[in-house]
Amino acid sequence: MDKSVPVVSKIFCSGAPTMLMIRRRPAVVNGGGFVVTDLSHSIVFIVDGCGTLGSKGELMVKDGEGEPILSISKKGGIVQALSTRNRWNGYSMDYQGKNKLVFSLTDPKSCTAQDRDCTIVDCTRKIVAQMGKKGLMGGKDFYHVEVQSGYDQAFIIGVMAILDSIHGESTRC
């Protein structure tokens, strides 16, 4: 029985827990963002922020080949200005370039600095992914995330890109 939980696509779900390594790019190199590799150092995902895209509140997750798979944008306007939370929408990108809303997340306006040791849980409080800096290269520009089996790695990287932008890290203008 398949226990995959695809959000972006089933092709990004693995049957076993997967360790991914994240290396932030400085804003002066390719516009910032970060690169995600597997343990054999093959590029799995690339995340571009507004330094590359040129628009504040816009993020792009690409596959290892550089093809866009997830477009993320922060909603703005008068409704957002009156809200106590920012809303981020993630859109999958199909081969025809059409966008389909696949997730929506909100964040509190009173966020503090991002902790590289955190856990992402689903609605039942089951651990989906754990992010940390212990045991692998360490430092502010290198950290890792372990995505549990069956969960969509592209979605998890999208959530990490949003957290990175919220906390003024490499994807933010």
**pLDDT over 70, % of the chain:** 71
Residue 108: give the domain boundaries.
10-166
Whether 27 is in a domain gets the answer yes
Question: Per DSSP, what are the bridge partners of residue 106?
Answer: 87
What is the tens place of the pLDDT at every residue in 48-98?
A: 887 655 667 788 999 999 999 998 888 765 555 555 567 888 888 766 666
- On average, the pLDDT of the chain sits at 78
**pTM of the model as a whole:** 0.81
Per the structure, the count of domains in the chain is 1
Whether 5 is in a domain gets the answer no
Query: Is the distance from CB of 162 to CB of 24 less than 8 angstroms?
Result: no
Whether 1 is in a domain gets the answer no
CATH number of residue 42's parent domain: 2.40.160.200
What is the tens place of the pLDDT at every residue in 26-54?
A: 666 556 788 999 999 999 999 988 765 56
Please tell me the distance from the alpha carbon of residue 144 to that of residue 126, in angstroms, as a whole number: 19
